[in-house]
Chains A and B, each alone.
Chain A
Amino acid sequence: MVELILMSSLFLLILSILLTLYRVIKGPSMPDRVQALDAIGINLLAGVAIFAVLLRTSAFLEIILLIGILSFVGTVAFARFIERGVVIERKPAD
């Protein structure tokens, strides 16, 4: 029973990743694509968590935190690039 619930939630996560992938490909503007990529990262994180429960192991728990950190850093970098045109600035802003 629990396995059925986990498998169905994995299926729903895959479905939402596919729907978000449509937004990445089709999205009219650049911020749409960046936000869709961030959402894909979070869905992937939830998928790894459910997979760890399904396999009855705690070996993947670090990966969850790592995907969260990398997704955050990547989204901040894309946001800086869209806003300023440069990812890392040389001098202080003012």
Chain B
Amino acid sequence: MKKPNDIILHAVTKVAVPIILAFSFHLFFSGHHNPGGGFIGGLAIASALTLLFLAFDIETVRANIGVDFKVVAAIGVLLAVLTGVGSFFFDAPFLSHTFDYFNLPIFGKTELATAVLFDIGVALAVIGTSVTTILSISEDR
């Protein structure tokens, strides 16, 4: 039997994965004023990781991305809870959020909201859950 040769799939994946990751970061950061947000951004990142797992194999991707995705999901939930707890230190109810305008070096006047921290937690939980599900289904056949 001839050895399978996936060179076209590998080349397309190497070009497409950075584009999908950039698009998912755009979706994540546009969530405050436009359609998007933590959930769909995390799902787009998970689809990029799924494409990597499809084109290559589990051991190659694990050797290059040394992240345990169960830990990623746990860190996401912990971050989302801690942003809620953090509002206690400012005499505010649970999950109160605030925002302010800052002058950043490159971006100029930018609105920074603490809701982004909660959204990062949501995105990490979604990435960890979906990738863990896909990997644990494909583990044994």
Interface residues of A (CB under 8 A from B): 59, 62, 65-66, 69-70, 72-73, 76-77, 80, 83-84, 86-94
Instruction: Name the one of B4, B27, B47 contacting A73, with C-beta atoms under 8 angstroms.
Output: B47
By beta carbon, the residue of chain A nearest B9 is: A76
Binds A, one of B56-64, B66-74, B99-107: B56-64
Instruction: Name the one of A72, A86, A91 contacting B16, with C-beta atoms under 8 angstroms.
Output: A72
Report the minimum CB–CB distance from A47 to chain B (whole Å): 18
Q: Are B27 and A62 in contact (CB under 8 A)?
A: yes
Q: Are B20 and A92 in contact (CB under 8 A)?
A: no
Q: Which DSSP category, helix, strand, loop or mixed, fits chain B's interface?
A: helix
Q: Which DSSP category, helix, strand, loop or mixed, fits chain A's interface?
A: helix
Chain B residues with Cβ under 8 A from A80's Cβ?
A: 54
The 6 A-B residue pairs whose C-beta atoms are closest, nearest first, are A89-B57, A88-B138, A88-B53, A73-B51, A90-B58, A76-B54
**Could you list 4 further interchain pairs (A-B, Cβ under 8 angstroms) beyond the known A59-B35, A70-B47, A88-B138?**
A62-B27, A92-B57, A92-B59, A93-B57
Chain B residues with Cβ under 8 A from A83's Cβ?
A: 4
Q: Are B58 and A65 in contact (CB under 8 A)?
A: no
Q: Are B44 and A69 in contact (CB under 8 A)?
A: yes
Instruction: Name the one of A62, A72, A86, A93 contacting B3, with C-beta atoms under 8 angstroms.
Output: A93
Q: Are B57 and A90 in contact (CB under 8 A)?
A: yes
Q: Are A91 and B59 in contact (CB under 8 A)?
A: yes
Q: Are A89 and B44 in contact (CB under 8 A)?
A: no
- How far is it, in angstroms, between the C-alpha of A34 and the C-alpha of B57 when the chains are bound? 22
Report the minimum CB–CB distance from A91 to chain B (whole Å): 6
Report the minimum CB–CB distance from A66 to chain B (whole Å): 7
Report the minimum CB–CB distance from B99 to chain A (whole Å): 23
- Asked if B84 is at the interface of the complex by the 8 Å CB criterion, the answer is no
Question: Which chain B residues (46-100) contact chain A, with CB distance < 8 Å?
Answer: 47, 50-51, 53-60
Report the minimum CB–CB distance from A51 to chain B (whole Å): 14
Q: Are B23 and A69 in contact (CB under 8 A)?
A: yes
Chain A residues with Cβ under 8 A from B135's Cβ?
A: 88
Chain A residues with Cβ under 8 A from B113's Cβ?
A: none
Instruction: Name the one of B23, B36, B134 contacting A88, with C-beta atoms under 8 angstroms.
Output: B134
**Residue in A80, A88, A89 whose Cβ sees the most chain B Cβ within 10 Å:** A88
By beta carbon, the residue of chain A nearest B48 is: A69
